[in-house]
């Protein structure tokens, strides 16, 4: 969570959903309309680890990615997507909740002195 929001890895706006940061451009337009040069944008691709790494990484990553591709392809094949006239995406990002949850039950252990 913290690595992917570290300004040294992702700036400007490390806490903001801004997909343009992944594009290679000479100039970028921030969500607030400000235009900045590519030298002002830092996107560390090696720090983006949404499924974690190592032996405890997400066991469902491959399945999740395959399912994501399948669902997206089917949606694009069957639907035209547009924002309803009476709606706006201006506040959509502020309603997002990033929640890291670990739920563990009790761990019953009896400690016995060694002889």
Tell me if residue 1 falls in helix, strand or coil.
Answer: coil
| Strand residue runs (E) in 7-109 | 10-11, 27-29, 35-37, 42-43
- Segments in the chain below pLDDT 70: 98, 100
What pLDDT does 88 receive?
81
* Distance (Å, whole) CA 40 – CA 13: 11
Tell me if residue 40 falls in helix, strand or coil.
Answer: helix
Phi, psi of 92 (to 5 degrees): -60, -45
Distances (CA, A) of 93 to 17, 73, 98, 108: 7, 24, 11, 42
pTM score of the predicted model: 0.48
What pLDDT does 74 receive?
92
CA dihedral defined by 35, 37, 39, 45, rounded to 10 degrees? 70
């Amino acid at each position: 969570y913290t690595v992917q929001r570290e300004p040294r890895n992702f700036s400007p706006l490390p806490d903001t959903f801004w997909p343009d940061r992944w594009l290679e451009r000479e100039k970028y337009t921030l969500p607030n309309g400000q235009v900045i040069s590519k030298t002002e944008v830092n996107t560390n691709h090696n720090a983006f680890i949404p499924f974690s790494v190592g032996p405890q990484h997400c066991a469902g990553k491959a399945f999740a990615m395959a399912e994501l591709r399948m669902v997206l392809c089917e949606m694009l094949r069957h639907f035209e997507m547009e924002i309803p006239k009476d709606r706006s995406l201006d506040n959509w990002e502020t309603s997002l909740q990033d929640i890291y949850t670990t739920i563990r039950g009790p761990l019953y252990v009896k400690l016995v002195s060694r002889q």
